[in-house]
Structure 1
């Protein structure tokens, strides 16, 4: 994680003015609270790993399969799910700015910075695990893992290809479908 960098103004004696001193104290208190809220701070790596596996098991039990006929639909659904998950965790920059966005302006730096600050303040972290991290039979485990205070909160799998398509109780062979597994509520 990158350090929080803030520019401060010093007076002619090289000291912080009162308003800057207050801001520095607020940031220091914020960093201290974040460290206190981290339940994994005093754990060894083996304990963190077993805790992560337990949390992932609970998240996967709550997950549902969503089936799509095209890869584009599945990717669009992943984006919608990511936005819903971020909103539920208090990070609404994507949703807020998408409503006011100018279609001609493709500069996303501002929205990215706002979202980064929101995620930092809310202790939200997003991790993308690539498919090549897993053996072929476990590729469905790749995707977006969203953490809140170092606990897995949401999981959105990468679209996986299924060579059969179910329509009700009937299996249609030869029709490809794409499956996204997620616990993000609709």
Structure 2
């Protein structure tokens, strides 16, 4: 996704079409309103960082580990968790896409096979509800902290949800039993309630 950027149509003289002008004006007003409501706008970077660390600590304490035998299962779980988190924050565009894929689609969504409609609706919903998604790649963290990489979903500059990337782990015990051959599982840590 590319933030709040979107393609618009211009007339021969290079001006916005009347149909596009209203939408661009609305998005501009939303963006300026978001900037005014941003409490971190006048904070020092060190203060923002300490606030982010405190918020992340609270989110991680509320998170749970989920195990999957395959990386595909873990990736599917990540997608479902992202959809559920966005739904809880009032952004239902991904759910429209899921319904389309399941065959229970809205006719408006079906008209757009490449799903630019879904992406545009999601961008607008996220902007209106002050929701941001950030993906932190695994390279940002040391090998023992790889589980901290993943999706960070912000609501008004506060971390609302965290979904880690799948991390390959070797399990040597199940409960009180030690396994003769350790099994490989993929774990995902998230605070999105299932």
Q: Give yes or no for TM over 0.5.
A: yes
Aligned residues of 2:31 and 2:127 also touching (Cα < 8 A)? no
Deviation at 1:113, TM superposition (A): 1.1
1:183 aligns with 2:191: yes
Please show how residues 1-186 of structure 1 align to structure 2 within 5 Å: 2=4, 29-101=29-101, 106-164=113-171, 166-172=173-179, 173-186=181-194
Aligned residues of 2:151 and 2:165 also touching (Cα < 8 A)? yes
Q: How many residues align?
A: 179
90-99 or 59-68: bigger deviation: 90-99
Alpha-carbon separation, structure 1, partners of 2:52 and 2:21: 39
Alpha-carbon separation, structure 2, partners of 1:2 and 1:39: 20
SS at match of 2:170: strand
Deviation at 1:36, TM superposition (A): 2.8
Aligned residues of 1:131 and 1:142 also touching (Cα < 8 A)? yes
TM-score by length of 2: 0.79
Aligned residues of 1:163 and 1:175 also touching (Cα < 8 A)? yes
> Unmatched 5+ residue regions in structure 2?
12-17, 104-109
> Unmatched 5+ residue regions in structure 1?
10-16
Deviation at 1:110, TM superposition (A): 1.6
The Cα RMSD (Å) is 3.0
Deviation at 1:114, TM superposition (A): 1.0
Per-residue deviation, residues 84-136 of structure 1 (Å, max 9, x unmatched) = 00000110001023213587975122211111111111111111111111111
Per-residue deviation, residues 19-75 of structure 1 (Å, max 9, x unmatched) = x99878755653443123211111011100000000000000000000111111100
Alpha-carbon separation, structure 2, partners of 1:108 and 1:23: 19
Aligned residues of 1:165 and 1:176 also touching (Cα < 8 A)? no
Alpha-carbon separation, structure 2, partners of 1:109 and 1:24: 17
The equivalent of 1:13 in structure 2 is none
Alpha-carbon separation, structure 2, partners of 1:80 and 1:174: 28
Alpha-carbon separation, structure 2, partners of 1:140 and 1:24: 39
